[in-house]
Amino acid sequence: MLPLPAPYHQADAVLLAQGLTNYTYRLQLQHKSYFYRQGIAQPESLFIDRAQERQALLLAEAAGLLPKIHYHSADGQQLILDWCDDPSWQMEYFASATGITQLGQLTAQIHAIPARLKILDLADYLQQLMAGLPSLSQTVRQRIEQQQAMLHALPVICPVFCHNDINPTNLLGMKPWLVDWEYAALGDPAFELAGICRAGQFDRQQQQALVDSYKAAGGCCELNRVIQMLMVVDVVSLLWCEKMLLLRAETQYHLLRQQLYRALGIAEV
């Protein structure tokens, strides 16, 4: 664990989780708890821009979406927040009618926040992910090229502030708090909404309900565009899964890889 500034260097630290992008801890100092995130040494290897994340965190905190920030190191690797006792959302609630309504409202709120961040160009992002995976089959590469062509053909939209990883584990309590802004950027609202649909395994009726809630809360996006983005989400997820397997060949990634190949209708190699 990296050295912490005063007074947090005196805190008792308990490791909560060790992931590919972060180590997370609970700090206990003078009967008060804090959440501490320590990032990996080379975040750019996983396409994490800590300078952009810093801007996103400040915007999220100002909007009341993130617990209070107590410390954020100059390099962005160390982050201390207020501790939140509220549990993460369960999948059952995430995919419920009430949860979907709340998700639409939350996403519209995020997308309405003015932000000056880099734009996530999805076609270019796919190219970057693919470039780091030279062993991909020709079938997968062709599927990616098809999605890139589809993205280039879509009507141009005004990019909005996106979290880009809204899933049950990143939502805390009924407020809800939304954490893990590492991949926040300006982007296509349909991609964000499609990501939510895939995270909750929404059927078409649930997808429509999410878009309806989003639009009722002031968002601007049509269901057809979200549907087109579903396969983009699947392809991005597959490429990330392939990258994770190169770094840590865990069972969860092998199982996810199998699921994604089946969803894309591609034979595994």
DSSP classification of residue 114? -
Mean pLDDT of the chain: 94
Mean of the pLDDT values across residues 10-26? Answer: 90
Distance (Å, rounded) from C-alpha 268 to C-alpha 125?
Answer: 23
Residue 183 pLDDT? 95
Residue 10 pLDDT? 95
Residue 195 pLDDT? 98
- For residues 136 and 198, the model is more confident at 198
E strands of 85-146, at which residues? none
User: Where is mean pLDDT largest: 19-23, 121-125, 264-268?
Assistant: 121-125
Residue 77 pLDDT? 94
Measured on CA atoms in the order 238, 244, 248, 251, is the torsion positive or negative?
Answer: negative
